[in-house]
A and B are shown apart, each in its own frame.
Chain A
Amino acid sequence: MTTTIHVRELTKSFRSRVALAGVSFDVGPGVTGVLGPNGAGKTTLLRIIATALAPDSGEVQVLGRRPARDHDRLAIRRQVGYLPQDTGLYRGFTAYDFIDYVAILKEISDPTQRRDEVRRVLAGVGLEDRMHSKIKTLSGGMRRRVELAQALLGAPRLLVLDEPTVGLDPVQRLRFRETVSAVASHDTVLLSTHLTEDVAALCGHVIVIDQGQVLFAGRPSELAARADGRVWESEAADAGATLSWLTGEGRHRHIGSPPDGAALVTPRLEDGYLLLTASEPFAVTS
């Protein structure tokens, strides 16, 4: 596998809070999902890979270059599209103005080339009809698409997307998946999410991170297989399960060590993820 991102023993702390505690993994072409609960360290990890933040220690290589070196960092920035959680849109700008502004910061200085590129990415996220609308008049989902459009500028070799589907409705999420799939067919996409359905729908590779540590790195099917023989359903709640909840069909679904005679079911991706991250037994009843 060609390695786009190489991370070894990465650490980062904010005062006394440890965000990353010795993270190691490799990422190749295609879509890789970074899955983890809120506060797991996903955003810190993505900021470091996008060169927006420097680690305390450890080794990072992005597209074969080290962000710690000035000239390498600049080269990485020219080839990476980054969508942070909070972009800081200029609300008084139109969508076109904003993307044009970012295009200038991405060093696309030729006016004709820049105009074509801005229109291309806005069309790519389905905003060609609203490109001259002020950002403050756009819906939350449209704003997120404007933010995604800036990440697509310049056809980057690596897309780093932090919680890209937050605020998108199901149709917009589908469009987003189409856009990302098109990019990932020839480049690398690293996206963080806490939604297992995003990973199941998009990712060929998944990294589960919690409390600043990598708990799993592999294919989504392998993550689901972690829960083989550990998921069962019953009519009543089971106090012995690590995790238990009432499904829409009125049955209780359990994860943990099944009792004798339990009706085992085929695990899904979220079962493997929940089994990995649920350290204490707890039950969800609604």
Chain B
Amino acid sequence: MTWHVDGDTLVGYLDGHLTEALACSLEAHLLACEQCRADLAAATTVRGRRSHERSWDRLMDQVDRPTGNRIVRVLEKWLPPHLLRLVAAAPALRNAACAAGFAMLAAAVLAANFRSGPLGTLAFLITAPVVPLMGVALAYSHPDDLCGEVAEALPYSRFKLLLLRTAAVASVTLPVVLMLSLLLPVDLRLALLWLAPSLAMCALTLVLSPFADSRWVAAGLGLVWLVATTVHLPAAPPLPSLHELLASEFLFRPSGQAFLLVVALLAVMISAVLRRTTFETRNPA
């Protein structure tokens, strides 16, 4: 015997990819060639082992899959498993908290659509920024919530983890609030006035999280927002139009919106600058 079957052809044979004529020729050769029979046996073993390992990995992945609620299962479609695990640990993904916020907004939308006057839309624009903020605050739960003190001594970037959780909460809450805002009986520009304050307050909560309990920070920011946006409202009817109401509040005017976006940007930039000294150790040396 002066020639032997190459590895690719053997694998093609095992996978059933060879033509019938080539397969017959190969089988005739195998009957007479001990070395090629040994090569085929080895290829079968390796291939079988790989196939077995792949099956085992798939099974184990299924067994060891992160447990979690419906939101975690939705995120499973987009996030790689290790990021999903980090996100799944966030207490923010509690259905009840989010559902309560969405219910509040849905009520505001209904009020805006079925009740005359600007109050329903205004109520939506005032309450909408608080919903993602509430989710972000719950994502941290308390300053040590990233796995207690263990996380303080782990190499994974604390800042990265906080950012990931914020993004996860935002990705769940923002689209829902966005869809609800499209149901408002006003043009899109007005319906999206909640977005800038929401981003600003979430970013401020992120940057302040190493210094204070995020829940208190979020509660404080939410309270300031609610007071600032309602203090100018007239105490008794007749109510002015929605445009007049919004124009009376700085934070709803274009300059106020730009200010809030700058605040959000600055907060993220400061967080990025301070990430090593402030986020990675609670008490820097």
Contact = CB atoms under 8 A, between A and B. Distances in A.
Interface of A: 47, 50-55, 67-68, 70, 73-74, 77-78, 80, 82, 84, 86-90, 92-94, 96-97, 100-102, 104-107, 109, 111-112, 114-115, 118, 132, 134, 147, 150, 160
Q: Chain A contact residues: over half helix, strand or loop, or mixed?
A: mixed
B82 A112 contact: no
B60 A115 contact: yes
A228 to B, nearest CB: 40
Contact of A55 (B149, B154, B285): B285
19 contacts: A54-B281, A54-B285, A84-B148, A84-B149, A86-B149, A87-B149, A87-B150, A89-B148, A96-B64, A97-B85, A104-B85, A104-B86, A105-B150, A109-B82, A111-B81, A111-B82, A114-B82, A115-B60, A115-B64
A80 B52 CA distance: 35
B154 A102 contact: yes
Given A68-B285, A88-B145, A90-B147, A74 B155 contact: yes
Task: Find the residue from A100, A101, A107, A134 having the highest chain B CB count within 10 A.
Answer: A101
Q: In the complex, which of the residues A70, A82, A104 has the most CB atoms of chain B within 10 Å of its own CB atom?
A: A104
A255 B34 CA distance: 84
B147 A87 contact: yes
B89 interface: yes
Contacts of B57: 111-112
A82 B82 contact: no
B224 interface: no
B204 to A, nearest CB: 25
A106 B82 contact: no
Given A54-B284, A84-B148, A105-B154, 4 more contacts: A52-B149, A92-B67, A100-B85, A134-B67
A70 B274 CA distance: 13
Contacts of A109: 82
B155 A52 contact: no
A49 B116 CA distance: 65
Interface string B54-94: 00010011011011000000000000011001101100000
A105 B64 contact: no
Nearest to B60: A115
B282 interface: yes
Contacts of A84: 148-150
Contacts of B283: 53-54
B281 A105 contact: no
B85 to A, nearest CB: 5
B269 to A, nearest CB: 20
A150 B150 CA distance: 9
B149 A106 contact: no
B249 interface: no
Contact of A105 (B63, B66, B151): B151
Interface residues of B, number: 33
A102 B150 contact: yes
Contacts of B88: 97
Contacts of B144: 88
B285 A88 contact: no
A107 B147 contact: no
B89 A90 contact: yes
B153 A97 contact: no
A106 B156 contact: yes
Contacts of A115: 60-61, 64
A51 B63 contact: no
Contact of A47 (B61, B89, B149, B285): B149
A70 B148 contact: no
Nearest to B150: A87
Nearest to A110: B82
A52 B158 CA distance: 12
Cβ-closest 5 pairs across A and B: A88-B148, A68-B285, A52-B152, A54-B285, A105-B156
Contacts of B89: 90, 93, 101
B161 interface: yes
A77 B154 contact: yes
Nearest to B66: A97
A68 B283 CA distance: 11
B64 A77 contact: no
A51 to B, nearest CB: 5
Given A50-B153, A54-B281, A93-B89, A102 B147 contact: yes
Given A80-B153, A101-B85, A115-B64, A87 B148 contact: yes
A70 B278 CA distance: 11
A53 B282 contact: yes
A105 B147 contact: yes
Contacts of A111: 57, 61, 81-82
Interface string B247-285: 000000000000000000000000000001000111111
A107 B282 CA distance: 20
Contacts of B145: 88
A109 B82 CA distance: 7
A147 B152 CA distance: 15
